[in-house]
Amino acid sequence: MGTLSTLSAAAPATPAQAVTELHARLADVGAHRLYAGALDRVAVLSVRRGLTVWCWGGLFRWRDDGGAQATHPVTDPDGAARRLSADQRTAGIQPHTAPAAPPPAPTPVAAAAPTAA
């Protein structure tokens, strides 16, 4: 008798693949300056200062803004990205947008003519 696998065909095979998928989803929603690293059984993604996602044992793991541990299954990187994006907004971090256009240059003012003394 065989065993039933809990991984679907779309499930990432390694923590590194899971973090790569999460990285892509976060980039899609405007997160930038994401840094990732991986070993055989664990991978990590730095999302912003104070928010690091670890991946092992089939779960993404991080501490939310209140310091509580949060987990999310690696089979749902879209859901994890939504939760992490909400944490970013709560922390006052806005997604990256293009910089605003610089203000127009000031109009030069003509110099006043010297007065006779």
Looking at the domain assignment, is residue 8 inside a domain?
no
pLDDT of residue 113: 63
Looking at the domain assignment, is residue 115 inside a domain?
no
Looking at the domain assignment, is residue 24 inside a domain?
yes
Q: What are the distances in angstroms from CA 2 to CA 5, 8, 10, 74? A: 9, 16, 21, 24
Closest CA to 32 of 93, 88, 95: 95
Q: Which tens digits make up the pLDDT trace of 23-52? A: 999 999 888 889 999 998 999 999 988 899
Looking at the domain assignment, is residue 43 inside a domain?
yes
Q: What is the mean pLDDT of each run of 10 residues along the chain (117 residues)?
A: 44 90 92 89 92 95 90 95 77 46 63 63
| The pTM of the whole model exceeds 0.85 | no
Domain encompassing residue 49:
15-90
Looking at the domain assignment, is residue 107 inside a domain?
no
Looking at the domain assignment, is residue 66 inside a domain?
yes
Distance CA 53, CA 60 (A): 6
Distance CA 46, CA 83 (A): 15
pLDDT of residue 106: 67
Looking at the domain assignment, is residue 95 inside a domain?
no
Looking at the domain assignment, is residue 105 inside a domain?
no
